[in-house]
């Protein structure tokens, strides 16, 4: 987990260095913007669906096995959406000196590490027997962090396009 988190944050830092040193032409910028928006729909939409099933389970409206099954099937679109957002975002000339952009980078890094540890959580919840209070708290914290990071990134992105 620690090695994967370090690798992900290092890759993000490398991408930021790349974005500060490479400029895209107007056509590639438009393509990157489209990919960015499509990736947001894909990744965030999948996250909302996964969290919805988690909420159904927590409220007793769906069994844990169903919530875990649906969530496990959404991992690929979630990660594909996040990767598409990061790669396309690096081609949109982010202002790395802007506090808003720095906040968005922190949110994306946190989101990535949270997603990695969610894999451990999924294995814990899949273990035989009912999950205990610690696993439930872990699941709630994971979902809360995910939602805060995704929504925070969307808000920052929106504000950045308005300025």
pLDDT in tens, 19-34: 888 888 999 999 999 9
pLDDT at site 18? 86
Question: Residue 24 has what pLDDT?
Answer: 86
Are 159 and 100 contacting, i.e. CB atoms less than 8 angstroms apart?
A: yes
pLDDT attached to residue 26: 92
Residue 163, pLDDT above cutoff 80: no
Helix (H) or strand (E) holding 94: none
How large a percentage of the chain has pLDDT more than 90?
A: 64
DSSP 16-56: HHHHHH----HHHHHHHHHHHHHHHHHHHHHHHHHHHHHHH
3-state helix, strand, coil in the chain (%, to 5): 85, 0, 15
Find all residues with CB under 8 Å of 63, minimum gap 6, and list them.
57
- Those residues whose C-beta lies under 8 Å from the C-beta of residue 129, and which sit 6 or more positions away, are none
Tokens of residue 59, six digits: 């409220």
pLDDT tens track for 48-59? 999 999 899 888
Q: How far apart are CA 138 and CA 100, in angstroms?
A: 29
71 is written with which tokens? Answer: 């969530």
d(CA 90, CA 49): 27
Which tokens sit at 25? 């032409």
Q: What is the pLDDT of residue 162?
A: 85
Interval 95-120 mean pLDDT: 93
């Amino acid at each position: 987990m620690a090695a994967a988190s370090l690798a992900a944050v290092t890759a993000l830092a490398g991408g930021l260095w790349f974005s500060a040193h490479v400029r895209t032409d107007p056509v590639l910028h438009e393509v990157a913007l489209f990919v960015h928006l499509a990736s947001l729909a894909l990744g965030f939409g999948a996250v909302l669906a996964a969290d919805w099933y988690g909420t159904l389970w927590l409220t007793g409206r769906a069994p844990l096995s169903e919530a875990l099954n649906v969530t496990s099937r959404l991992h690929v679109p979630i990660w594909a959406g996040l990767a598409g957002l990061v790669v396309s975002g690096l081609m949109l000339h982010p202002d790395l000196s802007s506090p808003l952009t720095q906040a968005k980078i922190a949110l994306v890094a946190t989101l990535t590490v949270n997603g990695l540890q969610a894999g451990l959580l999924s294995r814990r919840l899949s273990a035989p027997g009912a999950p205990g209070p610690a696993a439930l708290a872990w699941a709630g914290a994971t979902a809360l962090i995910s939602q805060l990071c995704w929504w925070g990134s969307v808000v920052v992105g929106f504000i950045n396009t308005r300025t």
